Amino acid sequence: MEKIALLPGGFKPPHAGHYNMAKWLANNTDADTVVVKVGAKERDGITREISLKLWNLYRLSDPDSPRIAILPSNSNSPVQDVYDFIEKEAPEGSIVYLGMGEKDATDKRFANIGKFAEPKNIKFETALVPPQAGGVSGTEMRGFIKNNDKESFQKYIPEHLTQEQKDQAWEMVSSLEEMMMGTMNNQEKAKHAKNLKRLKKDLKKQNDQYEKVPDYLKGTLTRKYYNEDLYNPEDKVNDYMRSSEYKAGLPDGSKEDIPHSYKYKRGGVYGRMYEEKFANHSTSAAKIDDIIIPLEVADTPEKQIRGMMDRDEMDGGMIFPYDQVSQKDFHMEGCKIPLDIIFIKGDKITKIHHNCPPCKQIPCPKYSGMADNVLELPGGYCKKHNINKGDEINLNLIPRDDKPVYTLKEKIDKKDIKQLDTFADKQLDPVDVDLTSNHFFDRLNDPRNDKNISNAELIGFFKRLGKKKKDLLDFLTKYKEIVASDSRTDINIPFLKQADKIIAKTILRKKDFQTSNPQLSLERDLSDKEERIAQSLPDKEFKKRYGKNWKSVKIATAAKMAKKNENYPPYKAEKEQKVR
């Protein structure tokens, strides 16, 4: 069972009190991970992106940092963040602790969260966090920045930071004009520069005294934000339905992805910011001994080719996942900083190339090893943290189009099995489900599963099986042994009917599992219309765009098109009879 402590807020900017609240939640609840949600609203020039950078600086520089996931929110309201997290992101069957300060404890807006938690079998609790050292209001912190009071600002950020790191934090908040200019197009930059030049002249006439904000400066840096129209690369169905293939109705053509100009021409500056600012944010992580390293996942050929080329810094690490073990060759062409390159086979580090320097001359040296995952870290990281060949490494790689899971993959214990057994009984009542066989438990954590089967996956499995309960009961009247298969997770469970119960004999993760026993699929049956649309959608294009998730994206697209009463391709009336 996953246990998450949630700390939402604006954090403009985050200070020592905020960071100590996160640490208090980690130390005073049994949460596996503390999730910090940073609000979208800008305050006096302090943006969400600046706040995220500061949070990551605090976390990564703290030798005693607990598991903290720093995530951006698209909402201006911490209250909405809590409801959205429970409804859309928190895993089924999890426990969520909401961290609250004294001023929020009586806020009635949180009163109905339990109603949203109950359908997902989530246990929701509030955790009242006492005042923490380094606490100061956000208004005061922004006042320090406005008044260029570096000393006071640095006094109220976490104590564990070195002076160099404190200077780095100050640089983040004191270079607002430069950072703001980075989000403008050339036309906007020219206009802004012209206005600043004009303002300088006006101030000189006033002997550099304060004056009322001139009309020509009002509203010059505002942005319109259209929620419905902003391109979101995580929405795979809308991504396809905006593509040229969908609009042209050409299922077999080899097309390029949606052009950058189309994706962002209506999202404007915010569209570009979505891609540029959040491309590297991820809840994926690696655990080596007690060291937890946040990861960027290079999970497409384009990302793997680009790697760390032309980048001046690395926050955490970059992982290159592959389908199977083979020799992998890496080079440092185009890289600007030295890297440690780690080759991983299964859950073991098989080889480390330390402090590989940027390549200055072609041909570049190759750094090779046998692996199914390759991890890049900042040069010297492994020696500094005593990471060696043969060490175990626990990878938690989460695709950006999946709902996030906030804990590293740990083995399921017998206490979890008991809770799952109760949950399965509730979903399949009157069928009694028995998950207590030793073989079932041993096979849960078997390395042949490719990756560990998680508690959340099993909760989802039995929830979907509960929706097929009528089919299950029908199978059980005809057969003594059946296999339930879930194509979402590739989990397969053979059941043996015995008196009034069904016993889970074993469990395995295997794609397209074949068996001689009757097989019950947990996929929802498509309507005739959905089936027809799904058959007409181009497999080739979905495979190209969405990789291993192509089937589920295709089915979701068909269901959405059917609901909107659309056809694919856009048939003309005279062709309809022939198609039928």
- Note whether 124 and 207 are same-domain residues: no
Residue 246 within any structural domain of the chain: no
- Note whether 70 and 139 are same-domain residues: yes
- Note whether 35 and 149 are same-domain residues: yes
- Note whether 305 and 376 are same-domain residues: yes
- Note whether 341 and 418 are same-domain residues: no
Is the omega angle on the peptide bond into residue 13 within 30 degrees of 0, that is, cis?
yes
Distance separating alpha carbons of residues 472 and 466, to the nearest angstrom = 9
Of 229, 282, 235, 88, the residue nearest 545 (C-alpha): 235
Distance separating alpha carbons of residues 317 and 409, to the nearest angstrom = 18
pLDDT at 342: 95
Residue 72 within any structural domain of the chain: yes
Residue 245 within any structural domain of the chain: no
Query: Which of residues 128, 157, 178 is at a domain's end?
Result: 178
pLDDT at 493: 94
Of 102, 42, 31, the residue nearest 73 (C-alpha): 42
Residue 239 within any structural domain of the chain: no
Q: What is the CATH number of the domain that holds 371?
A: 2.60.120.1140
- Note whether 439 and 308 are same-domain residues: no
Query: Which of residues 396, 426, 443 is at a domain's end?
Result: 396
- Note whether 431 and 386 are same-domain residues: no
Residue 213 pairs with which residues in a beta bridge? Answer: none
Residue 227 within any structural domain of the chain: no
- Note whether 154 and 212 are same-domain residues: no
Q: What is the CATH number of the domain that holds 35?
A: 3.40.50.620
- Note whether 30 and 158 are same-domain residues: yes
Residue 300 within any structural domain of the chain: yes
pLDDT at 72: 86
How many domains are there within the chain? 4
Its domain, for residue 304, covers 285-396
Query: Which of residues 163, 178, 193 is at a domain's end?
Result: 178
Residue 178 pairs with which residues in a beta bridge? Answer: none
DSSP classification of residue 90: S
Is the omega angle on the peptide bond into residue 363 within 30 degrees of 0, that is, cis?
yes
pTM of the prediction? 0.39
- Note whether 392 and 431 are same-domain residues: no
- Which tokens go with 381? 């990281």
- Which tokens go with 229? 């129209």
Print pLDDT tens along the chain (580 aa). 788 999 999 999 999 999 999 999 988 998 888 999 999 888 888 988 899 889 988 988 887 777 888 888 888 888 888 888 888 888 888 899 999 887 777 777 877 888 888 888 899 998 888 877 666 788 899 989 988 899 999 999 999 999 989 998 998 888 644 444 444 555 666 676 777 777 777 777 766 555 556 666 655 544 433 333 333 444 555 555 545 444 444 343 333 443 433 333 333 333 333 333 334 444 567 888 767 788 888 877 667 777 888 888 887 899 998 877 888 888 888 888 999 999 999 889 999 999 999 988 878 888 999 988 999 999 999 998 899 999 888 876 554 444 433 344 456 778 788 888 988 998 898 899 999 888 888 888 777 777 778 777 888 889 889 888 988 999 989 999 999 998 878 899 999 998 889 999 999 988 888 889 999 988 766 777 877 888 888 887 777 666 656 776 777 777 778 776 655 554 443 433 333 3
